[in-house]
Amino acid sequence: MTGHVLGVVGATGAVGQKILKVIDERVKNIKALRLFASARSAKQKIAFRGHLIEVEDLEKANFAGLDYAFFSAGTEVSEKYAERAVEAGAVVIDNTNAFRMRCDVPLIVPEVNFHAIKPHHKLIANPNCSTIQMVCAIAPIHKVNPIKRIVVSTYQSVSGTGTEAIEALKTQSAQILNGENPTVSVYPRPIGFNLIPQIDVYIPESGLYREEEKMVNETCKILESNIAVCPTTVRVPVFCGHSEAVNIELTNEMSLDRVRNLLAGAEDVVLIDDPANSVYPTPLEIQDKDEVFVGRLRRDMTLPCAYNMWVVADNLRRGAATNAVKIYCKMTENCK
């Protein structure tokens, strides 16, 4: 049988489940599939292409025989096990923050900088979800007219935190609707009917939260440019789908039609932009889609070379699973 032996670490989690779904949709030939998770999830059986595959205990796992492994079980897990998988012969595509800023690890959005992967690279990092969708939208413009500065505000759904956060939003929303005080869980404040301008840990030296720092550093690494990035990341009471208000300042003035044409012709970017008729993307309507959706495209009236756009994507698919599987597909050409 042709194809590869694939592994998914964190197979029972939200991103791991999406990776399996995208593999099923996109990968043509699979020699074998191995699934890994923590001891509490081991021995579960997951259906895949007509077979039930038993989940292996990650702590006891032997990675020998794996050709490619997708890691999606958290930074600490990747730090402990990803390089072991590489040593056993696998190419690892890692969805966590563990290796993104290591100079010897390429940080890849396939439509933007696949060229950064070289034959010797056996460990490849998937960027942060909020970075992926923004870079997909701005890279086509940056290639022809370099971006000098980005100001971005994100509106990030609770699914980016995991299933516990989804349940917290459900519970707190019901409590508030029933006139009760919401229980605080997962986040430092209630997320039901609320906005929280804090994602990840605080960094006193910069005044940023870690999610904001990721957007700064990852954008520059992916675009191979010292773009000034000014982010504010906000958790919002949305179940799935991240949205971003993005302002870019270009090196040279460009017509709005030219910007529009660059976006309309970009791979996996969908322009939905007729604001006079209330036509623009929202997270509810783009769930379970793989593209990055752009609307509200307009000039920034305060600067001659600046433009605004609204960028929306499914954070679990486009911002994680699909990006990882597309890396594999482009490396192997083993795609449907």
Q: What is the CATH number of the domain that holds 15?
A: 3.40.50.720
45 contacts: CB under 8 Å, gap ≥ 6: 52, 53, 54, 55
pLDDT of residue 336: 86
Q: Is-contact 136 111, C-beta < 8 A?
A: yes
- Cβ–Cβ < 8 Å for 280, 250: no
Same domain, 137 and 278: yes
The residue from 4, 240, 242, 329 that is catalytic is 242
Residues 74 and 144 in one domain: no
47 and 139, same structural domain?
no
Residue at 200: amino acid letter: D
Residue 66 structural domain: 4-127+320-332
Residues 157 and 177 in one domain: yes
Q: Specify the CATH number for the domain of residue 283.
A: 3.30.360.10
* 56 lies in the same domain as 179: no
Please check whether residues 119 and 145 belong to one and the same domain.
no
Same domain, 50 and 113: yes
**Catalytic one among 4, 129, 136, 240?**
129
User: Residue 2 has what pLDDT?
Assistant: 76
Phi and psi dihedrals of 287, rounded to 5? -60, 140
The count of domains in the chain is 2
Mean pLDDT by 10 residues, the chain (336 residues): 90 95 96 96 94 96 97 96 97 97 97 97 98 98 98 97 95 98 97 98 98 98 97 98 98 97 97 98 97 98 97 97 97 91
pTM assigned to the model: 0.95
Residue matched to tokens 């623009």: 280
Round to whole Å and give the CA distance between 269 and 283: 15
Q: Would residue 242 show up in a list of annotated catalytic residues for this protein?
A: yes
Do 278 and 187 sit in the same domain of this protein?
yes
39 shares its domain with 136: no
Indicate whether 203 and 284 sit together in one domain.
yes
Q: Are residues 66 and 195 in the same domain?
A: no
Claim to verify: residue 60 and residue 188 sit in the same structural domain: no
- Beta strand extents in 3-122 (DSSP E only): 4-9, 30-37, 45-48, 51-57, 68-71, 91-94
